[in-house]
Amino acid sequence: MSQEMIRLTDVAKSFTLHNQDGATLPVFAGLSMSVAAGECVALAGPSGKGKSTLMRMLYGNYLCPAGSIEIRHKDGWTDVAGADPRSILNLRRWTLGYISQFLRVVPRVSALDVVAEPLVSRGLPPEEAQEKAAAILTRLNLPESLWHLAPATFSGGEQQRVNIARGFVAPFPVMLLDEPTASLDKTNREAVLDLIRDAKARGVALIGIFHDAETRNAVCDREFEIASYAVAA
Amino acid sequence: MSATQTLLSVTGLTKHYGAHLGCADVSFDLYPGEVVGIVGESGSGKTTLLNCLAGRLAPDEGRVQYTDRLGDSMDVHAMSESRRRFLMRTDWAFVHQNPRDGLRMAVSAGGNVGERLMAVGARHYGDIRSQAIDWLDKTEVDVGRVDDRPDTFSGGMQQRLQIARNLVTGPRLVFMDEPTGGLDVSVQARLLDLLRRLVAEMGLSAIIVTHDLAVARLLSHRLMVMRRGHVVEQGLTDQVLDDPQHAYTQLLVSSVLQP
């Protein structure tokens, strides 16, 4: 069996809305799973059961109040649930890639620089990072005329490809994909599936949300049913 | 390993103004290359805390420990005034909300930048001028205006000039008090992009006070949320903004209008 890369143990999450009479929204509890190198696991379950919440917890974007979320990082494990901000940023720089559903655009930063940024933050010279960024944007069929423009005015599909390029430009050993092909046509969806297949072949462990069954069947090895861990409100 | 040594180590910092509380029992560590944002509403103690951290205001209790380039650790509030001023010219920089507080309005733009270089010992006029012009260019101030006085500049230009003046000597730690406050949004975007780039390129550490959560998200790695002098929540910036735990942070985040 391949090496374990992601290990969740007894994870629970609920939201407390202090300004709405302290209402508590339970999401899930007792959730445990693991993902091995080279494996792609699809989170399954109806809307509102916490698929995106779990992805965000894996990335350290949402707090994990109970249980542990361990990610193999360099020579050891980092528990996202208990890690300080510096450790999480370090994990995100070297180990953990995340492709969110929507690109967060920064005013005045070109598509090429948005994509190159994860490499620059690893210390790669900007020119080299931009070359790699250009290569992956080419692979995702983003017209060269757009590379030097800020993505704020791009179409949904173009922004999504910038987002995907940013996620795949650096070789992350663990990747989280939130609906990576949602706004793409068939040609571009195929290009993304190719990137996922390449990543799996390199031994990357992936967790994703794929609403489209065709996409899911094309790259996922198994499904993880999140609804089984749901907690009634 | 130098990366694991703190740049600033703050413990139990408390400041009262008579019966009124400025900030209470604030503790945190700042590491090289880290940018920390301090957010909260007006009067929450953000600027008081910043001034205590930068040694501009003496706290009633607590310590601010700074580790210099040589690895020597020093108590910011126990050092002599001349030593602190030296630090302020070399290792540290302070960007004020109002550029008038950080610039000399009667001195030319080039002079404002060059003055800081001279304060650390630069003497060659040609070198000073060319470095000043280089920094005006970096901060997108029209280099043709090098001999003009900043009081003839727009607010955005003055703020960029203040940043040039502060960064020209290659500081390690920059304190910023509402650096984009009072600027038009289009001017803000330009300044934010500039700050983001310079901080990353120079590997600067910074403590940024702002009431603008978007500014905090864009610039800072970590966030401290202040309310009535207390830090009510702190953590990774995107986590604090996207999954706030404290009632006050939840209120703050939910009060922002989405354009």
Which architecture characterizes domain A1-95+172-233 according to CATH?
A: 3-Layer(aba) Sandwich (3.40)
How far does B176 lie from chain A, in Å, by closest CA? Answer: 21
Sign of CA dihedral A71, A72, A74, A79: positive
Q: What is the 3-state secondary structure (H, E, C) of A107-157?
A: CCCCHHHHHHHHHHCCCCCHHHHHHHHHHHHHHCCCCHHHCCCCHHHCCHH
Please provide the average confidence, as pLDDT, over all residues in chain B. 90
A19 to B251: CB separation less than 8 angstroms, yes or no: yes
- Model confidence over A188-215: pLDDT tens digits? 999 999 999 999 999 999 999 998 888 9
Cβ separation of B236 and A89 shorter than 8 Å? yes
Query: How would you label B80-117 residue by residue, b for 16+ Cβ within 10 Å and e otherwise?
Result: eeeebeebbbbbbbbbbbebeebbeeeebbbbbbbbbb
B2: exposed, middle or buried (C-beta count within 10 Å: 0-12, 13-18, 19+)?
exposed
Q: What is the pLDDT, as a whole number, of residue B2?
A: 43
Contact B243 A121 (CB under 8 A): no
Measure A41 CA to nearest chain B CA, in Å: 25
What CA–CA distance (Å, rounded) separates B176 from B216?
12
Q: How far is A218 from chain B (nearest CA, A)?
A: 32
Q: Is A86 close to B34, i.e. CB distance below 8 A?
A: yes
Is B193 in Cβ contact with A109 (below 8 Å)? yes
Q: Which residues of A touch B222 (CB under 8 A)?
A: 85
A contacts of B34 (beta carbons < 8 Å): 86
Give the pLDDT confidence of B121-149 residue by residue, as tens digits. Answer: 888 998 999 999 999 998 889 999 999 99
Burial group, residue B157, by CB count within 10 angstroms (0-12, 13-18, 19+): buried
Q: How far apart are CA B216 and CA B208, in angstroms?
A: 8
The predicted pLDDT at position A124 comes to: 93
Given an 8 Å threshold on Cβ–Cβ distance, is A61 in contact with B239?
A: yes
Chain A residues inside the 8 Å CB shell of B242: 56, 61-62
| Rounded distance between C-alpha atoms, residue B259 and residue B256, angstroms | 9
Domain-wise residue ranges, chain B: 1-91+172-259, 100-170
* Res B1: pLDDT: 37
CB–CB contact B200 A108 (8 Å):
no
% of chain B at pLDDT higher than 90: 65
Q: Which of A14, A63, A105 to mutate to test the interface with B (most CBs of B within 10 A)?
A: A63
pLDDT band at B4 (very low <50, low <70, confident <90, very high): confident
Which residues in chain A have Cβ-Cβ distances shorter than 8 Å to B31?
Answer: 86
Nearest-CA distance B238 → chain A (Å): 6
The fraction of chain A above a pLDDT of 70, given in percent, is 99
Q: What is the pLDDT of residues B34-79, one digit of tens each?
A: 999 999 988 889 999 999 999 999 999 999 999 998 889 999 999 9
A106 and B200: CB-CB below 8 Å?
no
- Shortest distance between the Cα of A85 and any Cα of chain B, in A, equals 5
| CB-based contact A56 B251, cutoff 8 Å | no
> Chain A interface, mutation test: which of B202, B239, B258, most A Cβ atoms within 10 Å?
B239
Distance from CA of A94 to the nearest CA of B (A): 16
Residue A56 in tokens:
């965000």
| Mean confidence (pLDDT) of chain A | 93
**Segments making up each domain of chain A, as ranges:** 1-95+172-233, 105-171
pLDDT given at position B58: 93
Q: For residue A192, what are the contacts with CB-CB under 8 A and spacing of at least 6?
A: A140, A164, A180, A181, A184
CB pairs under 8 A between A and B: 51
Range B1-91+172-259: architecture per CATH: 3-Layer(aba) Sandwich (3.40)
* The pLDDT value given to residue A224: 96
Q: Tell me B90's DSSP state.
A: T
Q: What angle do CA A145, A147, A149 make, to 5 degrees?
A: 90
Given an 8 Å threshold on Cβ–Cβ distance, is A60 in contact with B193?
Answer: no
Residue B3: per-residue pLDDT: 52
Contact B250 A17 (CB under 8 A): yes
3-state secondary structure chain A: CCCEEEEEEEEEEEEEECCCCCEEEEEEEEEEEEEECCCEEEEECCCCCCHHHHHHHHCCCCCCCEEEEEEEECCEEEECCCCCHHHHHHHHHHCEEEECCCCCCCCCCCHHHHHHHHHHCCCCCHHHHHHHHHHHHHHCCCCHHHCCCCHHHCCHHHHHHHHHHHHHCCCCCEEEEECCCCCCCHHHHHHHHHHHHHHHHCCCEEEEECCCHHHHHHHCCEEEEHHHHECCC
Instruction: Categorize the per-residue pLDDT at A133 as very low, low, confident or very high, splitting at 50, 70 and 90.
Output: very high
> pLDDT at residue A1 above 80?
no
Q: Which residue of B has its CA nearest to A53?
A: B243
What is the distance between the alpha carbons of residues A211 and B8, in angstroms, rounded to a whole number? 47
Contacts of B250 in chain A (CB under 8 A): 17-19
| Contact yes or no for A107 and B200 at CB 8 A | no
Q: Which residues pair with B29 in a beta bridge?
A: B9
Instruction: Give the best residue of B4, B199, B243 to mutate against chain A (max A CB count within 10 A).
Output: B243
ipTM comes to 0.93
